[in-house]
Amino acid sequence: MKSQFEVYLRLKPSNKSQSQNAMQYQIYQNKKLQVLLPKHVKFGLINNSRDNLDFNFTHVFDQKSSQEHVFTNVTTPVINSFLDGYNATIFAYGQTGSGKTYTMSGAETWQLRGIIPRTLSYIFDEIDKRNKFEYKIYISFMEIYNENAYDLLEKKHLETPLEQWNKIALYEDDQNNIHLKNLSIHQCNNEQEGIDLLMMGNFIRQVSSTPMNQSSSRSHCIFTVTLEGYDTTSETCFVSKLHLVDLAGSERISKSQVEGNLLNEAKYINLSLTYLEQVIIALNERMKGANRQHIPYRNSLMTTLLKDSLGGNCKTVMIATISSENDNIEESLSTLRFSQRVGQLENEIRRNEKVDLEAVVKRLEQEKLVLIRELEQYQRGGASTSSNKKIQSQQQNLLPQSNGTPISQKDIQEKVELYLNERIPMLDVKSIEETQKCFEAMKDLYNTRMKEYVTELTFISEKLQKYDEILTRKKEQSSFLEQKENSSPEAEIYRRNESPQITFKKRANQ
């Protein structure tokens, strides 16, 4: 199924009035932003012969849009699809200070919480309503900083400096699936546990200030919710992933006026966002029919990690955030242009469903038990089976009722059949000859039934043998997988998924 990327725009409220250098713009039908270009400014990237530029979006959120409004519009359809078994990604893109973290995580108060905490509440509320499935939810949270990825949910990181953290290692299997080492995955049973993990990750997240924004974060963050859903009515299950991504600021180095170590960081950020742009351009070209086999995902860690979100099996949504001040117009236009390219992309998505091996094995074992019992019963002797007993008793009840006109052999056979099937209580026989015919018909029917019974038992025995073979094969396979899993680094990570001790309680009644 094709899934077009959805691109939303959110404008950060400005402290300045229109006359104080605010960006001049119009929003049309909540879908189009028209930026009126200031005449007096000479921008290298702007065509000065034009006085306005139009940009189209799935929805434009103006400066007054609340966190709840943004969440309901952007996220609910995406999470519903995630809960149905589809992968999904929501990423925020924009210059430093334009509101990415505000949109994704939120601000200090519970009312101002962002998409991630609201997503957690929504997921747990929804799964309570979906009785057909049993769910397991896992959370991981990582940060990409200077082209290295780190686990934000590793308790040790609370006490150790970044230089001593283990880097997350990536490796690819034969099917080009990316696996991660040194990333803890935490099973999460309720909203509060999820929020505690988010708060802990945000707490651990490295923050250092640039001259541009005191709380600027120079890392990309990926909060991932993995959902395992077991269908209780069939033998299927699914695993879907939801990535909630807060990218680092997209501004150019000259703008952030950084030096030394910060300059180095800015270069990495710029580079990874340039690579992200290159991936988007390559995907765009391929969509427009260009012969582009190679998409440069591997150029950066972020694009490698988000490979599936950008050009694979994933429903992807981007939230572009811009400041509404003229000082930042160059960066805003760059974000707006980037978002238009992203909006042209589409992914091919499919439900990540597979057969639930455990449920199949369980069913086969139960069926096997029933079959063994039946077979044993048959082997103890045909005369003792329930159907034989029934036929014997029916024979004893066969008595002629009265004399009269002889009926045909066909009619007698039909009547005997009806009688044996307990559709009529008695056989109305009118002569000795008819009685004999009745006995003949009964003998024939009895023999046919016995033949059918033998055939069925032969079929059952064959089926039983086949199931036995499948079971043995499946058991061999799962013990092989178990061995493989036990020796893999992820298994080690899974085993170490105790919840961190830090707890952050959400405020009541808010």
Residue 387: name the closest of 434, 457, 326, 317 by CA. Answer: 457
User: C-alpha dihedral over 115, 141, 331, 347, to 10 degrees?
Assistant: -80
101 is in an annotated binding site: yes
Spatial contact of 104 and 244, defined as CB atoms under 8 Å apart = yes
Nearer to ligand ATP, 92 or 438 (CB): 92
Q: State yes or no: residue 205 binds ligand ATP (CB under 6 A).
A: no
99 is in an annotated binding site: yes
474 is in an annotated binding site: no
Least Cβ distance, residue 110 to ligand ATP (angstroms): 14
Least Cβ distance, residue 256 to ligand ATP (angstroms): 10
Binding ligand ATP (rule: CB under 6 A), the pick from 87, 216, 324, 328 is 216
Give the three-state DSSP class for 250: coil
Neighbour-count burial of 135, counting CB atoms closer than 10 A to its CB (0-12 exposed, 13-18 middle, 19+ buried): middle
Q: State yes or no: residue 101 binds ligand ATP (CB under 6 A).
A: yes
- Calpha distance 250→253 (Å, rounded): 9
Least Cβ distance, residue 299 to ligand ATP (angstroms): 21
Binding ligand ATP (rule: CB under 6 A), the pick from 102, 122, 124, 446 is 102
Report residue 178: phi and psi, to 5°: -90, 130
Q: State yes or no: residue 454 binds ligand ATP (CB under 6 A).
A: no
Q: Which range of residues in 101-109, 127-135, 153-161, 371-379 is near ligand ATP by CB under 6 A?
A: 101-109
95 is in an annotated binding site: yes
Least Cβ distance, residue 30 to ligand ATP (angstroms): 16
Residue 3: name the closest of 71, 88, 64 by CA. Answer: 88
Q: Which range of residues in 14-22, 212-220, 438-446, 483-491 is near ligand ATP by CB under 6 A?
A: 212-220
Q: State yes or no: residue 66 binds ligand ATP (CB under 6 A).
A: no
Nearer to ligand ATP, 145 or 238 (CB): 145
Please provide the DSSP assignment of 101-142 as one string. HHHHTB-SSSTTB-HHHHHHHHHHHHHHH-TTEEEEEEEEEE
The contact mask relative to ligand ATP for 104-123 (x = CB under 6 A, - = no) is: ---x----------------
98 is in an annotated binding site: yes
Nearer to ligand ATP, 14 or 352 (CB): 14
- Calpha distance 374→377 (Å, rounded): 5
94 is in an annotated binding site: yes
Binding ligand ATP (rule: CB under 6 A), the pick from 100, 241, 415, 437 is 100
Binding ligand ATP (rule: CB under 6 A), the pick from 23, 89, 99, 157 is 99
Going from the C-alpha of 328 to that of each of 10, 24, 44, 98, the distances in angstroms are: 15, 12, 14, 10
Least Cβ distance, residue 69 to ligand ATP (angstroms): 11
Residue nearest to ligand ATP (CB): 99
Nearer to ligand ATP, 247 or 283 (CB): 247
Least Cβ distance, residue 284 to ligand ATP (angstroms): 25
Spatial contact of 180 and 307, defined as CB atoms under 8 Å apart = no
Q: Which of positions 235-264 make contact with ligand ATP (CB under 6 A)?
A: 248-249
CB proximity list for 29: less than 8 A, separation 6 or greater: none
- Calpha distance 141→148 (Å, rounded): 14
Least Cβ distance, residue 302 to ligand ATP (angstroms): 14
For residue 72, give both structure tokens: 């309901």
Give the three-state DSSP class for 46: coil
Q: State yes or no: residue 98 binds ligand ATP (CB under 6 A).
A: yes
Least Cβ distance, residue 247 to ligand ATP (angstroms): 8
Q: Which of positions 134-193 make contact with ligand ATP (CB under 6 A)?
A: none
HSE-up (13 A, CA, CB side) for residue 477: 9
Q: State yes or no: residue 96 binds ligand ATP (CB under 6 A).
A: yes
SS3 string, 262-305, reads HHHHHHHHHHHHHHHHHHHHHHHHHHCCCCCCCCCHHHCHHHHH
For residue 509, give both structure tokens: 């009644």
Report the interface residues with ligand ATP, using CB under 6 A. 12-13, 94, 96-102, 107, 213, 215-217, 248-249, 321
Binding site feature residues for ATP: 94-101
